Chain A
Amino acid sequence: MSFVLLEDGTRFDGEAVGAPEAVTGEVVFNTAMSGYQESVTDPSYARQLITFTYPHIGNYGVSEAAMESDRIHARAVIMRDARNHTRGAERGWLDWLRDGGIPAITGVDTRALVRHIRDAGSMRGGVFVDDTDEAAAAAAIAAEPAMSGLDLAREVTPSEPLELAATNGSRGPTIALIDTGVKSSIVSSLRARGARLQIHPCTSDADAILAGSPHAVMLVNGPGDPAALDYLVEQVRRLVGRLPMFGVCLGHQLLCRAVGLETYKLRFGHRGANHPVKDLTTGRIEITSQNHGFAVIGPGGEHTIEDDRPVRWETDFGTAELTHINLYDRTVEGLRLPEARASTVQYHPEAGPGPHDALHLFDRFIEAIGA
């Protein structure tokens, strides 16, 4: 019997369907009903075991076009009723997981697991195969470091800088992208809008970034605790105000930290494709793609924003305002520094997977650079 074990000792049985190995990490859940391949290849899931709440995962196989990076980053996949169908796709989902060396387990009562995590918070755990001894499993979990305080961006960042041309033929701006584990959808969203990208390792120094004479800086998603990335926040502080800047997800958290805000670990994170986010400056609501375990605390120490007006305060970079909130739990979802021409969102405008409601933010960014 294979099983999922959580650090608090809760156990859920299932059948192993991926690579026949044991693995530990942080157990999280994602409530999107499609887009499983995009999720597992999203580098932000590094060191995490993804539980999909939708029971049938694998229905339409996997394909090259749906890759969010060059490999699977999630450590394992936990499912209720996996499928290996391949029609219209290049590969079967389970075949692909197995070949990628990723343990996967199906037949798990994922709803019970999710309700447990929802109430107890996300925690470490593991997927274990072939009647692993439970005590040994528990020991393996205990050996797994907790997510808080982990710098994982360093694990997924490229070792060398890289340049990429625009894909729409036009000669748009050059954007320096600090790669903390970027999703392909961000890269392609920018390139499709005419941007030329200079992709830098996340350990790059601001001077090295500026040396390429970019017109703007893009901060992106990535795994781990933003509080462990002070070295990067330091470089961001050196870039803000000098160039227009747009940040997504971890990038949002980094810019927030750069203007002096704190971040904290959410109880079980936001992972899915249905969270409503309100832009307080326009009143518009977008249905968003989400994947984050940490969030930003407001300038007054507030974890939630109760008012529907942007919170404003003064920073080293001029006035700052919290522009977006999550209507589910009223947590911070966006920041803007008008004078520094910088803005960020916690969610994923690039979709991949999820709704396209916020794609326009990339247009706004490109326009802002032009201006």
Chain B
Amino acid sequence: MPRRDDIHRILILGSGPIVIGQAAEFDYSGAQACKVLAEEGYEVILVNSNPATIMTDPEFATATYIEPLLPGPVTKVIERERPDALLPTLGGQTALNLAKALHEDGTLERLGVELIGADYEAIRRAEDRELFRETMISAGLRVPRSATATTLADALEHIDEIGLPAIVRPAFTLGGQGGGIARSREDYGRIVAGGIAASPIGQVLIEESVLGWGEFELEVMRDRNDNVVIVCSIENVDPMGVHTGDSVTVAPQQTLSDETYQRLRDQAIAVIRAVGVETGGSNVQFAVNPESGEIVVIEMNPRVSRSSALASKATGFPIAKIAARLAVGYALEEIANDITRATPASFEPTIDYVVVKWPRFAFEKFHGVDADLTTHMKSVGEAMAIGRTFGQAFLKAMRSRELDVAADLDVSLETLLERVARAGASRFDELLEALRRGASLETLAQATSIDPWFLRELEALARSPEAAFAGVRSYRSVDTCAGEFPATTPYHYSAWERPAPDGSARHEIARGERPSVVILGSGPNRIGQGIEFDYCCVHAAMTVRASGRDAVMINCNPETVSTDYDTSDRLYFEPLTLEDVLAVVELEAPEGVIVQFGGQTPLRLAAGLERAGVRLLGTSVDSIDAAEDRGRFGELLERLGFQAPPYATARTLEEALEAADTVGYPLLVRPSYVLGGRAMEIVYARADLENYLRRSATAPDGREIFLDHFLENAIEVDVDALCDGRDVVIGGIMQHVEEAGIHSGDSACVLPPHSLGAEMLDQIREQTRGIALALHVVGLLNVQFAVISRPAGAELYVIEANPRASRTVPFVSKAVGRPLAKLACSLMLGETLASLGLPSELMSGRFVAVKEAVLPFNRFLGADTLLGPEMRSTGEVMGVAADFPTAFAKAQAAAGAALPSSGTVFVTVTDSDKAAGAGLAAQLHDLGFAIVATSGTADAIERMGVPVRKLRKVADGSPHVVDAIAGGEVDLVINTPTGSGARSDGWEIRRAAVARGIPCITTLSGGQAAARAISAARQGEPQVVSLQELHRTP
């Protein structure tokens, strides 16, 4: 049955900001779907609050709304655009929950919108844990014994029947958020309460533990004719108990016999039929008892997922693309397999290589959190590798992680064994080390429940890692069929094989005659280097292709659009190390290599590439160094007559203390060459500095630490600019909402600036131009400034310059309506700004765009939520409106911290903020809020003549502020720091706010913006407007 022609306009919901458990995979899936539906002639209406996505590029949809993924704004979009259908299965849990809400509140029916891909009942059967269980049981499948509870009392009744340990799983949450393993009665109460709070419907499933069983996932697709295929099986090397997102996983499954595997396959098919997902892909998770072969169903996700993206990249079978076609009426057999062209999509891929996925963690940024791996996901990204053997794939994946902090293996074997049993971020590094030191397979199997097959493989790798790479490197193709048919899609990986027989080719690469350009991707997502960089790499590939050259992509992140084989002319799914990159370059003999778009990852390789004689396109390695080297950059600024905060570098404690006095406190201290402000701190006095140095900074390898004079109460400004070496175009000037000292990645920002004078803006433009030309930038440049108001007038300081694509490039591109990364890539390929015909500044000025950061504190309870110079956000959202307050309110709502319109505000601020804090309280009072405060702050507020209720500090005993927050008496918290030490009052307050899910603002500037936004929100649900309309030239 071909394409449905009774529907014309299809609404697609994205997944919003990158958060733990919902990352770039939904941009990959969504972008594929948008492309396919447009190809099929449908009009696509897209809503996604995340500007750093390819799918929100205006050419991917008829109308693109960067609006909060909440029922209010989406209803407005539906009212304006009147789509015929809503495809909710591409935007992760967010889209599914939102579609469910829109069905339940009657919006879909009222406006005549049909759910396609998965209907309401199917979504419920899969997502409601209790319904799911019933559905499984009536389909004759086994599930762990369990009970559902909506109150703690309920839950306690079931404890004996379920037994301990018990698994607590909240309904309708993402990545297992709010769940856990209860090993004792105390755990049980705590985790159940947390789970009920985390579940949007206040329900948890308490389940019999199958810890230690094997964990398997099957990716299933079904079409309207009820034909079903399994795209891929994935085995978790970490057994049940470690979330699949945090597990090292392998495709295909390795340890099951055909007999057991076929039983899993039968059950996966039974699950998708029973749940009733009519068309599209689903992920079904199973636990298999290694002794008895007994199988239980764990869960199913009736949508594309992280695992489906992985399965697509692992097999070459594009699940999202096909799911979109199925949703509009096609059958699997009517869709061609892109890779072979000759065969249809109604088949099961078979592979002749091994795929290993490795999670990437960021615990080093969240002091004080529980870093053990458990049933809720904690990783922030992942790397995938393909090898001809498990060993090749495993070691390639391991080196793809690009760790900032190597695992600490300098401990006793005993400690290693303890650690592997607990499962942490470095579990496999520790396992390999334990094996090197002679730990027995039995001991390790006992400690970890990891299948002995894997342990043996690891043992071989521990003994001689080189053995896995015997032979010669030869590039192979991912072809979905193990070589049975010729593949046309150039998706490659390196394998190590015996030299090819005489006369046959060593590589399966069809290089062709066209010149090629290699683009280096950004590797696994991590904090500080996220999807923004992948976005830029994809734009680079598009530009290279449009210029008539072959775009060649190297990357190892399975979530991304850059590793979609459609994005470039040739994709090498490889680790981003110098050796791996040089091998591709040798084969490709490209015109040049682009290192400017993939963040720090390719930049780290730049010097090595240049030394190897590789031509880098765009800004030279020397210029990059001139910007990154403090000394050289300082001289450059001096030469230009621009101001920078005084700074010094030091290698030892003594040097540092001495330098500190010349630079002047307060100081911003950090180790050299780090991205995302890692290990960066503000110190106010000598004692703090000594403390910092002892704790972290002076790296054992004697690398430098930097000491900058910290500019207090400065406004931070970010500029993205284009330069061709001769001319400069300002892409966008962004004013940060939070003051300098909050990492630019964690701070909200506004474009165009809302409170900088024209003169200051001119000065910013002039200095940006000066730096760009002095650095001979060809491509993109990002400059960060700080503006300080002094009695004599505002002063401008340069904080840093990055001659590469910055995190804000996608945001600016969306806000100004020009693709900055594409323009930069054209410059790198030899175009000039003059030939591109650009104005000297791209800002449109007709509306205000606000970017807000999204932080993962709800997953890391225990970490202090206080913002600082170390970046900790995972993603971002954008709000667009005619004025700043409305745009800011939208951004807050999109970030999941919707501001209350009424209720109670709790204010507690540091002494220096008391006056301003009281002013803010007065403003909120005028807006109708009740004010509560701690005593000092309350006194200041009272002096303003504002009624305020005093709350006790924690030390003064219950009922105190934390009780009030936990008890739901507070709707908004404004707390500026008086100290970030663990267990300080501030820490307790912020933690309670996160646990309760209420917004907690930690800067006064943020508070002021919030007050204005609340006042603007009083005008009612703000208008929604599409990007296409915003940028339509009048």
Known A66-B257, A354-B258, A356-B262; contact A275-B347, beta-carbon cutoff 8 A: yes
Q: Which of A82-111 contact B (CB under 8 A)?
A: 83, 85, 87-89, 107-111
Q: Which of B324-366 contact A (CB under 8 A)?
A: 332-333, 342-344, 346-354
Once bound together, how far apart are the Cα atoms of A273 and B265, in whole Å? 12
Contact of A287 with B by CB under 8 A:
yes
Contact of B440 with A by CB under 8 A:
no
- Could you tell me if A53 and B265 are in contact, using CB atoms closer than 8 angstroms? no
- Beyond A87-B453, A328-B347, A353-B262, 7 additional pairs, beta carbon < 8 A: A54-B351, A66-B257, A111-B352, A112-B497, A283-B225, A285-B332, A328-B342
Chain A residue at minimal CB-CB distance from B508: A115
B380-401: contact bitstring with A at CB < 8 Å (1 yes, 0 no)?
Answer: 0000000011100000000000
- Could you tell me if A55 and B225 are in contact, using CB atoms closer than 8 angstroms? no
- Could you tell me if B262 and A355 are in contact, using CB atoms closer than 8 angstroms? yes
Contact of B350 among A31, A59, A66, A284 (CB under 8 A): A31
Contact of B259 with A by CB under 8 A:
yes
Once bound together, how far apart are the Cα atoms of A29 and B483, in whole Å? 10
Contact of B498 with A by CB under 8 A:
yes
Chain B residue at minimal CB-CB distance from A108: B498
Identify 7 residue pairs between A and B in the complex whose beta-carbon atoms are under 8 Å apart, listed by A's number. A31-B482, A54-B482, A55-B353, A60-B453, A112-B500, A272-B484, A355-B348
Chain B residue at minimal CB-CB distance from A86: B452
Once bound together, how far apart are the Cα atoms of A39 and B484, in whole Å? 18
Once bound together, how far apart are the Cα atoms of A80 and B485, in whole Å? 19
A33-60: contact bitstring with B at CB < 8 Å (1 yes, 0 no)?
Answer: 1110010000000000000011110011
Contact of B476 with A by CB under 8 A:
yes
Contact of A276 with B by CB under 8 A:
yes
Q: Which residues of B contact A (CB under 8 A)?
A: 225-227, 229-230, 252, 254-259, 261-262, 265-266, 290-291, 332-333, 342-344, 346-354, 388-390, 451-453, 456, 476, 481-486, 495, 497-498, 500-501, 504, 508
Shortest beta-carbon distance from B250 to chain A in Å? 10
CB neighbours of A171 from chain B (8 A): none
Once bound together, how far apart are the Cα atoms of A66 and B259, in whole Å? 8
CB neighbours of A13 from chain B (8 A): 498
- Could you tell me if A109 and B498 are in contact, using CB atoms closer than 8 angstroms? yes
CB neighbours of B501 from chain A (8 A): 10-12, 112
- Could you tell me if A59 and B453 are in contact, using CB atoms closer than 8 angstroms? yes
CB neighbours of A118 from chain B (8 A): 483-486
- Could you tell me if B347 and A276 are in contact, using CB atoms closer than 8 angstroms? yes
- Could you tell me if A116 and B504 are in contact, using CB atoms closer than 8 angstroms? yes
CB neighbours of B476 from chain A (8 A): 111
Once bound together, how far apart are the Cα atoms of A351 and B262, in whole Å? 9
Contact of A55 among B354, B498, B508 (CB under 8 A): B354
CB neighbours of A66 from chain B (8 A): 257-259
Contact of B257 among A11, A63, A285 (CB under 8 A): A63
Shortest beta-carbon distance from A34 to chain B in Å? 4
- Could you tell me if A55 and B388 are in contact, using CB atoms closer than 8 angstroms? yes
A243-279: contact bitstring with B at CB < 8 Å (1 yes, 0 no)?
Answer: 0000000000000000000000000000011111010
Contact of A210 with B by CB under 8 A:
no
CB neighbours of A143 from chain B (8 A): none
Shortest beta-carbon distance from B271 to chain A in Å? 15
Chain B residue at minimal CB-CB distance from A352: B258
Q: Which residues of A contact B (CB under 8 A)?
A: 10-14, 29, 31-35, 38, 53-56, 59-60, 63, 65-66, 80-81, 83, 85, 87-89, 107-112, 114-116, 118, 272-276, 278, 283-285, 287, 327-328, 351, 353-356
Once bound together, how far apart are the Cα atoms of A59 and B255, in whole Å? 6
Chain B residue at minimal CB-CB distance from A81: B389
CB neighbours of A80 from chain B (8 A): 352, 388-389
- Could you tell me if B256 and A60 are in contact, using CB atoms closer than 8 angstroms? yes
CB neighbours of B259 from chain A (8 A): 65-66
CB neighbours of A273 from chain B (8 A): 348, 350
CB neighbours of B486 from chain A (8 A): 118
Once bound together, how far apart are the Cα atoms of A355 and B347, in whole Å? 12
Contact of A56 among B227, B347, B389, B452 (CB under 8 A): B389
CB neighbours of B485 from chain A (8 A): 118, 328
CB neighbours of A12 from chain B (8 A): 498, 501
Once bound together, how far apart are the Cα atoms of A31 and B347, in whole Å? 13
CB neighbours of B388 from chain A (8 A): 55, 80-81, 111
Contact of A34 among B257, B266, B332 (CB under 8 A): B257
- Could you tell me if A88 and B343 are in contact, using CB atoms closer than 8 angstroms? no
Contact of A59 among B254, B333, B349, B497 (CB under 8 A): B254
CB neighbours of B350 from chain A (8 A): 31-33, 53-54, 272-274
- Could you tell me if A87 and B389 are in contact, using CB atoms closer than 8 angstroms? no
CB neighbours of B508 from chain A (8 A): 115
CB neighbours of A114 from chain B (8 A): 352, 482-484
- Could you tell me if B347 and A327 are in contact, using CB atoms closer than 8 angstroms? yes
Known A12-B498, A32-B350, A284-B225; contact A327-B257, beta-carbon cutoff 8 A: no
- 10 nearest A-B residue pairs (beta carbon): A35-B258, A53-B482, A353-B258, A274-B348, A34-B258, A53-B352, A114-B483, A31-B482, A109-B497, A285-B227
Once bound together, how far apart are the Cα atoms of A356 and B342, in whole Å? 25
- Could you tell me if A327 and B225 are in contact, using CB atoms closer than 8 angstroms? no
- Could you tell me if A285 and B389 are in contact, using CB atoms closer than 8 angstroms? no
CB neighbours of B255 from chain A (8 A): 59-60
Once bound together, how far apart are the Cα atoms of A60 and B293, in whole Å? 12
- Could you tell me if A327 and B344 are in contact, using CB atoms closer than 8 angstroms? yes
Chain B residue at minimal CB-CB distance from A282: B225
Once bound together, how far apart are the Cα atoms of A272 and B226, in whole Å? 23
CB neighbours of B225 from chain A (8 A): 283-285
Once bound together, how far apart are the Cα atoms of A327 and B333, in whole Å? 8
Known A278-B333, A328-B347; contact A356-B265, beta-carbon cutoff 8 A: yes
- Could you tell me if B389 and A55 are in contact, using CB atoms closer than 8 angstroms? yes
Shortest beta-carbon distance from B520 to chain A in Å? 27
Shortest beta-carbon distance from B803 to chain A in Å? 43
- Could you tell me if B498 and A56 are in contact, using CB atoms closer than 8 angstroms? no
CB neighbours of B226 from chain A (8 A): 284
- Could you tell me if A31 and B497 are in contact, using CB atoms closer than 8 angstroms? no
Once bound together, how far apart are the Cα atoms of A38 and B452, in whole Å? 23
- Could you tell me if A31 and B481 are in contact, using CB atoms closer than 8 angstroms? yes
Shortest beta-carbon distance from A145 to chain B in Å? 25
Q: Identify which of B227, B290, B342 gathers the most chain A CB atoms within 10 Å of its CB.
A: B227
Shortest beta-carbon distance from A248 to chain B in Å? 18
Q: Identify which of A38, A63, A283 gathers the most chain B CB atoms within 10 Å of its CB.
A: A283
Once bound together, how far apart are the Cα atoms of A35 and B253, in whole Å? 13
Once bound together, how far apart are the Cα atoms of A14 and B347, in whole Å? 32
CB neighbours of A274 from chain B (8 A): 347-350, 481
CB neighbours of A88 from chain B (8 A): 290-291
CB neighbours of B256 from chain A (8 A): 34, 60
Chain B residue at minimal CB-CB distance from A60: B257
- Could you tell me if A10 and B347 are in contact, using CB atoms closer than 8 angstroms? no
Known A10-B504, A54-B482; contact A276-B346, beta-carbon cutoff 8 A: yes
Once bound together, how far apart are the Cα atoms of A273 and B259, in whole Å? 13
Once bound together, how far apart are the Cα atoms of A83 and B459, in whole Å? 14
- Could you tell me if A328 and B343 are in contact, using CB atoms closer than 8 angstroms? yes
Shortest beta-carbon distance from B419 to chain A in Å? 25
Known A33-B252, A55-B354, A88-B290; contact A287-B498, beta-carbon cutoff 8 A: no
Shortest beta-carbon distance from B643 to chain A in Å? 61
Shortest beta-carbon distance from B973 to chain A in Å? 54
CB neighbours of B483 from chain A (8 A): 29, 31, 53, 111, 114-115, 118
Once bound together, how far apart are the Cα atoms of A351 and B265, in whole Å? 13
Contact of A354 among B262, B353, B495, B497 (CB under 8 A): B262
Contact of A284 among B227, B261, B351, B389 (CB under 8 A): B227
- Could you tell me if B500 and A109 are in contact, using CB atoms closer than 8 angstroms? yes
Once bound together, how far apart are the Cα atoms of A87 and B262, in whole Å? 19
Q: Identify which of A32, A88, A275, A278 gathers the most chain B CB atoms within 10 Å of its CB.
A: A88
Once bound together, how far apart are the Cα atoms of A35 and B255, in whole Å? 12
Q: Identify which of A14, A285, A287 gathers the most chain B CB atoms within 10 Å of its CB.
A: A285
Once bound together, how far apart are the Cα atoms of A329 and B830, in whole Å? 47
Q: Identify which of A31, A38, A89 gathers the most chain B CB atoms within 10 Å of its CB.
A: A31
